[in-house]
Amino acid sequence: MSLSLLFDSPHNLRSINLDTIPMANICRLLPSSKAELYMFPHRNITREYFDPRKNIIDFDDIDVFLEKCNPATFTLLNSAGVPCDVTHTHVNHYRTCAVVGNGGILLNSGCGAEIDAHDFVIRNNLPPTASYANDVGKKTDLTTINHAKLWEVCSNLGPKNKTVRKAILTRLSESPGMIFSYSLSTVGSPGRSKLKAIDRVIRDNKIPVTLAFSHQSAMGNKGLYSKLAGKRWRVPSTGLNTFALASTFCDRISMYGYYPLQKYNNRNVSYHYYDRGGYGHWHKMDQEFAMFQEFHNQGVIRHVIGECNSD
């Protein structure tokens, strides 16, 4: 499946002030995709707050990081602001990325093949995919985990319930090479011990998954969204933070499964595609949805709602 036409054709592409963009970047981006050009100003903003080298750090580096770096500033200890250079990330730069939410809008969408055609697929909170592959795809390169899901995974990997443990191990094994990244602060929190426990289980079972951590919580970047959309979110959703993070290392982004309404084309839409769940009020999902729609209309991203074309 070719994604280039999908990125360049469906948007009401806006005009943009090219005088604000260095000519070297214009020359690099224009021949490839209009979508990349429209992403550029937003990436300049998101990179002030997110960086995979800081937010998706290989968990093998946790000890040397705490020994040699200041987590708050991401600089070497006892240095005059020298950046921390003792850590690594498995995330590179990618041409096309799919950021896949867990919304029930994905059911019967037939978007699985389109999602898997992207170079890098990002999901939230380790959702099940095998039984829903036709709609959500099979591929997962990165799954970002919040506080509740980290505690749940760690608990389910305990020895008490072998059936639940096997189910989690199976889900972790479905995408060899996947990065399992905790998006909140690991330093000075129980999150570190939870990740260590999960790391032991993964190693003991020889599961090809890479654990990762963030030098500070993604929830602390609230000022980012006032710059992006002129709004402040008290509690940005995992999806909103994942989009912002992805924009720092993806040229083109498609977003799936982000739809906060309970009806679509006269049919009911469940909160999650894999369970009924419940619509909460912790996040401003309607405002986030409006922002994604605006970005779609501007050509910054593809915000996919409804069915995907199979050809």
Q: What's the one-letter identity of residue 111?
A: C
Give one DSSP letter per residue of 8-23, joined into a string.
HSSS-PPP--GGGS-H
34-46 helix and 222-229 helix, angle to the nearest 10 degrees? 140
Q: In sequence order, which residues have a C-beta less than 8 Å from that of residue 76 and are 6 or more positions away?
A: 68, 69, 70, 82, 83, 84, 85, 86
CA distance 257 to 239: 10
Query: Going along the chain, which residue ranges are E strands?
Result: 57-58, 69-70, 75-76, 94-100, 120-124, 142-145, 179-185, 210-214, 250-256, 263-264, 267-268, 302-304
* Phi–psi pair at 133, nearest 5 degrees: -60, -35
* Catalytic status, residue 283: yes
Distances (CA, A) of 246 to 49, 110, 266, 301: 12, 23, 32, 11
Helix H or strand E segment including 192: helix 191-204
Give 273-280 contacts, CB < 8 A, sequence gap 24+.
273/102, 273/103, 273/104, 273/105, 273/106, 273/107, 273/127, 273/132, 273/135, 273/136, 274/102, 274/127, 274/128, 274/131, 274/132
β-strand pairing of 267-268 with 263-264: antiparallel
Name the active-site residue from 93, 118, 147, 283.
283
Residues with catalytic annotation?
A: 283
